[in-house]
């Protein structure tokens, strides 16, 4: 049986790390800089501690993806023992992980193919695709089959986040100064989604209860899910996450909704006080969406990731 390997960086989030045991995945750490000190995410410093420092306003974090040499140092030994490498990355609209990986893959010569894929997502959506790719590496026949499956799965990942940190959205140009001030005065907090690899403010809520309702309504748009994940600001379950899980297990009997802390990159984008969900829509359900019609295809092109 061919041996294929999946590479990602530490901005991918997973609901249950134990489920990754035995899967052919290598995670290359991002570099997080705070107060002049640099750390390899989840190697030198756990993401949870980074989020705690950010939430307490002790530090402003900056995240750099793995460099081209760092990816090359991973690809080179893997290429000696694998029949193919699939390297997945956060949206190229968000950071340079995909660009650095592509440069590394182009420098490597030899018989091992390397496919560098932009997931058009971040954080939990990115993690769902990494896990799906690793599982597909055992099920699909050829390297091209695995790549085709992953690229199809990219189109079936959808994410929605609710954040209490308007300042971060303002600093990243997602809301204007006036909207941030008005939102703070009125207690209105936004929902943020991914569209074509970009973050976009789409809705608003006035309370945590409305936020939970909005996230549940978002997931109820899907008939069936292959995978899902809830992300929150810390490792231990929060009251909001517990309430969301309770609602979702009622609406989706038998579907598991694991949770975990989101990545430092996500915190830098939407703030360190947020909750969100990512889903991988069932391939069968997605195939029934009517994309054979050109009009439908044009409408689907602007979908939310």
Domain boundary among 154, 181, 206: 154
Same domain, 123 and 231: no
Q: What is the pLDDT of residue 153?
A: 96
Q: CA distances (Å), 101 to each of 63, 97, 116, in order?
A: 16, 6, 7
Check residue 173 and give left, alpha or beta (phi > 0: left; psi -120 to 50: alpha).
left
C-alpha closest to that of 303 among 154, 218, 195, 157: 195
Q: Which domain holds residue 262?
A: 157-291+294-301
Same domain, 213 and 257: yes
Same domain, 177 and 282: yes
Same domain, 135 and 184: no
Q: What is the pLDDT of residue 187?
A: 59
Q: What is the pLDDT of residue 152?
A: 96
Contacts of 220 (CB under 8 A, 6+ apart): 251
Q: What is the CA radius of gyration of the chain?
A: 19
Same domain, 182 and 274: yes
Same domain, 126 and 170: no
Token duo for residue 234:
């810390």
How is 191-207 classified by DSSP, letter by letter?
EEEEETTEEEEEEEESS
CATH number at residue 237: 3.30.1180.10
Give the DSSP H or E segment for 284.
Answer: helix 283-287
85 and 78 Cβ atoms separated by less than 8 Å: yes
Q: What is the pLDDT of residue 170?
A: 78
CATH number at residue 69: 3.40.50.10170
Q: What is the pLDDT of residue 101?
A: 98
In three-state secondary structure terms, 216 is helix
C-alpha closest to that of 130 among 266, 264, 4, 31: 4
Same domain, 178 and 282: yes
Domain boundary among 105, 128, 154: 154
Q: How many angstroms separate the CA atoms of 3 and 81, rounded? A: 8
What's the total number of domains in the chain?
A: 2
Report long-range pairs for 215-219 (Cβ below 8 Å, ≥24 apart): 215/160, 215/162, 215/244, 215/275, 215/276, 215/277, 216/244, 216/247, 216/248, 216/251, 218/158, 218/160, 218/277, 219/248, 219/251, 219/252, 219/277, 219/279
Q: How many angstroms separate the CA atoms of 304 and 133, rounded? A: 21
Q: What is the pLDDT of residue 151?
A: 96
Match 């968000």 to its residue by tokens.
94
Domain boundary among 106, 127, 154: 154
Mean pLDDT by 10 residues, the chain (305 residues): 88 83 92 93 92 78 96 96 96 96 92 95 96 90 93 96 82 66 62 89 76 92 92 91 92 89 92 91 68 41 40
70 and 27 Cβ atoms separated by less than 8 Å: no
22 and 43 Cβ atoms separated by less than 8 Å: no
Token duo for residue 78:
């893997």
Same domain, 145 and 55: yes
Same domain, 273 and 186: yes
């Amino acid at each position: 049986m061919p041996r294929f390997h999946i590479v990602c960086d530490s901005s991918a989030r997973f609901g249950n790390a134990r489920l990754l045991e035995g899967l052919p995945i290598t995670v290359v750490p991002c570099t997080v800089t705070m107060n002049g000190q640099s750390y390899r995410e989840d190697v030198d410093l756990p993401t949870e501690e980074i989020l705690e420092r950010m939430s307490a306003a002790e530090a402003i974090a900056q995240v750099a993806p793995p460099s081209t040499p760092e990816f090359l140092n991973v690809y080179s030994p893997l290429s000696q023992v694998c029949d193919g490498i699939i390297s997945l990355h956060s949206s190229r609209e968000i950071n340079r992980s995909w660009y650095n990986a592509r440069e590394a893959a182009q420098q490597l010569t030899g018989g091992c193919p390397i496919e560098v894929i932009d997931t058009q997502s971040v954080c939990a959506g990115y993690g769902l695709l990494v896990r799906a790719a690793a599982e597909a590496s055992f099920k699909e026949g050829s390297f091209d089959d695995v790549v085709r499956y992953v690229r199809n799965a990219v189109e079936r990942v959808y994410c929605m986040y609710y954040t209490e940190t308007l300042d971060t959205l303002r600093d990243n140009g997602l809301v204007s100064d006036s909207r941030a001030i008005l939102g703070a005065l009125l207690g209105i907090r936004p929902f943020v989604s991914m569209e074509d690899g970009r973050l976009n403010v789409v809705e608003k809520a006035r309370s945590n209860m409305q936020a939970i309702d909005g996230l549940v309504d978002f997931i109820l748009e899907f008939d069936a899910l292959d995978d899902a994940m809830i992300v929150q600001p810390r490792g231990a379950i929060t009251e909001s996450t517990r309430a969301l899980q309770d609602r979702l297990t009622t609406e989706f009997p038998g579907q598991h909704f694991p949770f975990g802390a989101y990545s430092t990159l996500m915190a830098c984008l939407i703030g360190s006080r947020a909750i969100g969900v990512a889903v991988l829509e069932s391939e069968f359900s997605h195939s029934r969406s009517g994309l054979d019609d050109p009009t439908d295809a044009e409408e689907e092109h602007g979908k939310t990731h």
